[in-house]
Structures are given as C-alpha cells and as structure tokens.
Amino acid sequence: MNTNEKLKLSGRLSIVLKDKAGAVKEQRDLENLVVNSGLAYIISRMVGTAKATMTHMAVGSGATAAAANDTALGSQLGSRKALDSTTISGSNNEKVIYVATFDPGEGTGAITEAGVFNASTSGDMLCRTVFSVINKAADDTMVITWTITLSAS
C-alpha cells in the first residue's frame, strides 16, 4: 500500500484594468509563487489562530523575480489595499479567492508585481507574482482576483 501523499499549492490571479468610463484597457491571467512565509503561515493556521487571516493586497514596481524567501514586494506602490472579499470555493472547498479593487489614485504607476498579506503593514506575505508592466493611470480602476488552490497530486 502506497501511503505517500503529496499536496500541491498553486495560485493564479486575474488582473482587470479599466479606464474612468469603465472600459477594459487590459486583462491578464497570471500564475504566482506561494512563498516560504506563506507556507509557514498556512501550517500555523492549521494548529491555531495566532496569525491573522489574509486581509490585504498590494501592488508594486519591483522587477526582481519572485523567490521563495520573499517577505515583501520589491517596491510597493502606495498602501496595501484591504480585500473586498475572501471566499472559499471549489467542489471540495479546495480554493480560496481573494479580491481587491484599486480605485482611482490607489496603486497608480507602472505596476509589475503584486502580493497578498495578512496585515496593512508588515505581517506575513502569502504569495507574490512579477509580470510585464501594467500602466495604471491616476483615474483607472484595477481589480485583482487571486485564487489559491490546494490539491492532492
């Protein structure tokens, strides 16, 4: 009998950038890296609630590739944004979906990275991704929908 079981944790995000009239300027679907601090966070939540739940998302202009030992974005633009929603989903409740809206004036600039955090400052970073530039103008709105999936592989 084979009792070796492997779990796989993966993340994907969708970024939708709209102009002030609500027209879609750009849409991206990307993969991410669940970082070491994110893995440690998940394990800690399995045995207690000492660490807060994920509550914020941030964007930045850092271009260094995402790495397992990352604990913050390379160069955050503005403040972290409180999540609009957190939902458990999937046929086996194997997904968590985080959504954040960056309104006009928030996270403005040449965006090349994003991350999910459990605090408005410092705290734990769950995951990070780096991508080619998305230029968010001061009057644009950007919605990021981030899905983390845990599956047996």
Supply the pLDDT for residue 61: 98
Supply the pLDDT for residue 60: 98
Give the CA distances from residue 143 to residues 11, 61, 100, in Å, rounded to whole numbers and listed in that order: 16, 17, 6
pTM of the model: 0.93
For residue 1, pLDDT over 60 is answered with no
Burial (CB < 10 A; 0-12, 13-18, 19+), residue 66, is buried
In this prediction, residues 125-144 reach a mean pLDDT of: 97
> Which stretch of 15-24, 131-140, 144-153 has the lowest confidence by average pLDDT?
144-153
Instruction: Round to the nearest angstrom and report the end-to-end CA distance of the chain.
Output: 17
In this prediction, residues 54-75 reach a mean pLDDT of: 96
Q: Which residues of 76-115 are buried (b: 16+ CB within 10 A; e: fewer)?
A: bbeebbebeeeeeeeeeeebbbbbbbbeeebbbbebbbbb
The predicted-structure confidence for 6-54, as pLDDT tens digits, reads as follows 888 899 999 999 999 999 999 999 999 999 999 999 888 889 888 899 9
Q: How confident is the model at residue 152 (pLDDT cuts 50, 70, 90)?
A: confident
The predicted-structure confidence for 91-123, as pLDDT tens digits, reads as follows 999 999 999 999 999 999 999 999 999 999 999
Q: How confident is the model at residue 4 (pLDDT cuts 50, 70, 90)?
A: low
For residue 59, pLDDT over 90 is answered with yes
* Helix, strand, or coil (residue 45): helix
Supply the pLDDT for residue 127: 96
Identity of the residue numbered 114:
A
